[in-house]
Structure 1
Amino acid sequence: MTSPAGKIRLHLLKAMAGICLLVPLGAVPQTTPAGARLDRSQLKLTFREEFDSPPSFHDRTIAPEGRWKTNFAFGSQDRKQRRYWETRTLVPNNELQYYADPWRDAHAFEWRDGMLTIAARPASAGEPALDHGLAYVSGLITSEKSFLQRYGYFEARVRMPVGKGLWPAFWLLPRFRVHKDPKLPQPPAEIDVFENIGKREELHPTLHYGTRQDKRHASVAVTVAPVDAFHVYGVLVSARDIVWYIDEHEVHREPNHDFHHPAYMLLNLAVGGDWPGAPDGTTPFPANMTIDWVRAHALAPGPLPAAEESMTAAIQPSPDGRE
């Protein structure tokens, strides 16, 4: 979920055969027939979160076995550190939200009827968001501590809020030890299954790849049915291609340049930032992003033990103590 400031957007000016029309950012998207349907016969379920029971939140001391972590992997993970709060927002994007800690902060998560809702709202007096100049409280969940997988199909059934300054997203990040030598190539940044910047009928699938010295981004705008109704959003990652789906129909694909590391899933509702801009008087609060379920599948008949071995190796703490 990287700000588009300075990005090299690869604007696709025509529809791919049989899929939704892909247009340059800033243009008016147009609707075309849905693309090829996802073939589930080649998938084997490896992760399933139905939210049929209250979510299991991770905390390094209170609940180390928790499934969902609520802050980013980078930066200090120790709450006693002065800059710990930077793991609960994205400073480079100039975002305005603080991702709440469900164990200690005001709750940004609501669970009912087998669904998890991330609720964004203005911060109240005394909340840590205001201590750091952040005007809103929201939520983030990641499977960094519980599930990573190299290749496969990753999906979630989600209903998003609509309004100026809202930035819901579902994305994948690889787990790797960052090279301390800036001259060495870096693994890819991320895959955005979707990002939305408050528009009711537009989403942005994005691939970030390349190196620290040569960062590249492929992103398009896709016209969709209203995002404030439930839809299933997914991405199929193989050694050759990355293919995005909405309601099991292909909407975009890119060659897989270098996304070959075990990856974990993130879902969040950001507020403000360089790309969507700040909320205004028309933005509805609380703004609710509701997640019905999250699933992941391996590519059958690939050997699952090898994937699990890669996952286990990837989640070992790095030497500098970061999680």
Structure 2
Amino acid sequence: MIEHNTRINTYRVSAAAAGLLAACGGSSVGDGGGLIPTTSLKALSHVSVVSGTTDSPPQAAPPSSTPSENSGSPQASSTSSPSPVTLPPSDGPAGQDSSRYTLTFHDSFDAGLDRNVWNTERTDADIAVANYAVKKGTLKIWPERGTNGEFFDRTFDTDGRFSQRYGYFEMEARLPKGKGVWPAFWLLGYKDGRRPEIDILEAYPGGAAPWGAPGIDGVPVPMMYAPVVWNDRGDQAGYTKVATPDMSAGFHRYGLKWEPNKTTFYFDGKEVYSLQVSVSDPLFPILDLWFGSASSEPDESTPTGESNAFEINYVKAWQFK
């Protein structure tokens, strides 16, 4: 994430992973099988890129704990990932030549929440209440107060279940709105002391313009997101800010083409940012809804409940042929 080390805390990812994971969390969502029809997308003429590589965001203090090592092969490493699937050309990565890719991971949530694929767990689970569900083929994560009256984070990841080096990663989702909400889709790895990270999407609806803007009801909606690349903990390679339509009003596709010496980010199939960088560790996907950072802190004005969900249609990954 932009505040990379803020997320590296005491979240335990899975029973199989010993120790604490930096900057992520986990849940249980698996290979749902069939594809969900793609929702109509906003006109790409409304998408613009606002460079942010010289406007370096603040850094948080490094974590005090060390995550467990996660072994895996350099390519599509997984203990329970779906077998490669052949899809029609229209079902390949948005804006890409699908004949150049092989599907290696696919969850459209049609079969519910598969706990053999995703992790979700909290060290302070005693305060947690229901704040996620799979309904009608989508994973929904929404703002909610715990039993202590405070908003709490929810994270889903595939640590120990699926990781991959290089390829194309894509999520189709609708974002929540409101002060304090901080939705994200990102990749993380940790091995031999390294902590590389690629943030495909992180948004701050409650942040100062142009991050967010008041909707018709006065509640701030997400109007910008940031792709970010980290070579290692505290070593940011670059980032940018992508201005968009209201991302809480409909579904959009957020993609990453990750090559040995280059990362290219896409919004609804349109390239929005490219960076010459070498990230060579296998990384695993993460979905989360956290609070704070540039989105400010949630308060009484922040909409809670399922109607204000971070709603994910699917998560997919492809490897280059």
**Alignment partner of 1:158 is 2:173:** yes
Q: Note the alpha carbon deviations across 1:67-100, whole angstroms, 9 max, x for none.
A: 10114xxxxxxxxxxxx82xxxxxxxxxxxx6x6
Note the aligned Cα RMSD (angstroms). 2.8
| Structure 1 equivalent of residue 228 of structure 2 | 206
Question: What is the match of residue 3 of structure 1?
Answer: 3
Q: How many residues align?
A: 225
1:149 corresponds to which of 145, 161, 164 = 164
The equivalent position to 2:295 in structure 1, one of 265, 276, 286, is 276
Whether contact under 8 Å (1:108, 1:138) holds in the other structure is no
Q: Which residue of 2 aligns with 1:90?
A: none
TM-score for the superposition, normalised by structure 2: 0.64
Question: C-alpha displacement at 1:215, in angstroms?
Answer: 1.9
Would the aligned equivalents of 2:226 and 2:242 in 1 still touch at CA under 8 Å?
A: yes
> How far 1:41 sits from its partner (Å)?
2.6
Question: More displaced, 222-231 or 163-172?
Answer: 222-231
Q: 2:245 aligns with which of 208, 225, 238?
A: 225
1:30 aligned residue = none
After TM superposition, give the deviation of residue 26 of structure 1 in Å: 12
Shift of 1:188: 4.7
Check conservation: 2:128, 2:152, Cα contact below 8 A: no
Which position in structure 2 is the counterpart of 1:21? 49
Aligned counterpart, 1:123? 146
Structure 1 letter corresponding to 2:110: D
Partner of 1:120: helix, strand, or coil? Answer: coil
CA contact (8 A) 1:70 1:142 kept: yes
Counterpart residue identity of residue 153, structure 1: Y
TM-score, with structure 1 as normaliser: 0.63
1: CA distance between counterparts of 2:201 and 2:182? 10
For residue 56 of structure 1, report the CA deviation from its aligned partner: 1.2
The 2-side partners of 1:165 and 1:138 are apart by 11
Task: Say which one has the larger Rg.
Answer: 1
Distance apart, 1:216 and its partner CA: 2.5
1:221-254 CA distance string (max 9 Å, x none) = 1011221110111101110210001111111010
Gaps of 5+ in 2: 7-46, 56-93, 206-211, 213-221
Deviation at 1:276?
2.1
Distance in 1 between residues matched to 2:100 and 2:136, nearest whole Å? 31
TM-aligned CA deviation for residue 5 of structure 1: 9.1
For structure 1, list consecutive stretches of 5 or more residues without a partner in the other structure: 7-18, 28-35, 58-65, 72-83, 86-97, 179-186, 301-323
Percent of residue pairs identical: 28
Letter in structure 1 aligned against 2:198: I
2:201 to 183, 194, 202: 194
Report how far residue 107 of structure 1 moved: 2.6
25 and 279 in structure 1: CA distance in 2 versus 1, 3 angstrom threshold: farther
Instruction: Please show how residues 1-323 of structure 1 align to structure 2 within 5 Å.
Output: 1-3=1-3, 20-24=48-52, 37-57=95-115, 66-71=116-121, 85=123, 105-125=128-148, 135-178=150-193, 187-198=194-205, 199=212, 200-210=222-232, 215-228=235-248, 229-257=250-278, 259-272=279-292, 274-286=293-305, 287-300=308-321
Cα distance in 1, alignment partners of residues 165 and 196 from structure 2: 15
SS at match of 2:290: strand
Q: Is the 8 A contact 2:263 2:276 kept in 1?
A: yes
